[in-house]
Copies of this chain bind each other. A is one copy, B any other.
Amino acid sequence: MPSKTIENYIKQIYALQQQTPGKFVHMGRLAELMKVVPGTATSMMKALSDANLVDYEPRAGVKLTDSGRQLALHVLRRHRLVELLLVQMLGLDWSEVHDEAEEIEHVVSDKLLDAIDRVLGRPVSDPHGDPIPSVGGQLPAQKNMNLADCPLRRGMKIVRVLDQHQSFLHFARQAGLLPGKAVVVEARDPHADAINLRIQKGKKSHSAVISFSVAEKFLVEA
């Protein structure tokens, strides 16, 4: 079994590869996000390469192999099912489950994972709207718009929040920007880096202003 450390490196590489598909993940960036010095990342990548989890090109970077991607998706499935369990069955707040799941994801057996999947009713996404990979490691292709590029003055529904930091999620909830909520982009001003929103809250609605970089964190559909 891969250690918790290995699973975390693989998960991080997977996330970085999503940002720039096809490109190598560089040691500097990886080390920074894993909070280790670059030399540590280098030696770890050699180990992962020996384990056939990554392709490592010296001075270029790494890419996940098929089995590396497989592992990443398996960890992601554990993480997201655990998050949903914590929110739906144990009543934890959606803003705090990410950190809890970060630990638990490494100790969930396949049998337990299936039990969780069953009691939750085979869900397809977690509390933040992130899709849950299938047992076989399939991830439904989601090509969503976000609040920075969706049509203006049209009713949109939030389907996913990309930033899982606790403080950001607190802000998101306080603003009413939760998965499932309806929202309209009323105007965008690139020079001011400002986007005006109207957010539905039951029968009422209120407005809010966010920057483009924040808007990109909210995926929406019509």
A: residues with CB less than 8 A from B are 86, 89-92, 96, 100, 103-104, 106-109, 111-112, 115-116, 118-119
Contact = CB atoms under 8 A, between A and B. Distances in A.
Given A89-B119, A91-B119, A92-B112, 11 more contacts: A86-B115, A89-B89, A90-B115, A92-B111, A103-B107, A103-B109, A104-B104, A104-B107, A104-B108, A106-B107, A107-B107
Contacts of A96: 111
A107 B4 CA distance: 12
25 contacts: A86-B112, A86-B115, A89-B89, A89-B119, A90-B112, A90-B115, A90-B116, A90-B119, A91-B115, A91-B118, A91-B119, A92-B111, A92-B112, A92-B115, A96-B111, A100-B109, A100-B111, A100-B112, A103-B107, A103-B109, A104-B104, A104-B107, A104-B108, A106-B107, A107-B107
Copies in the complex: 2
Contacts of A108: 104
Nearest to A116: B90
Q: Which of A100, A106, A119 has the most chain B CB within a 10 Å cutoff?
A: A100
Nearest to A118: B91
Contacts of A103: 107, 109
A129 to B, nearest CB: 22
Contacts of A100: 109, 111-112
Contacts of A91: 115, 118-119
A99 to B, nearest CB: 8
A68 B90 CA distance: 29
A37 B139 CA distance: 46
Nearest to A90: B115
Nearest to A92: B115
Contacts of A104: 104, 107-108
Contacts of A109: 100, 103
A150 to B, nearest CB: 36
Nearest to A103: B107
A109 B97 CA distance: 11
A152 B86 CA distance: 47
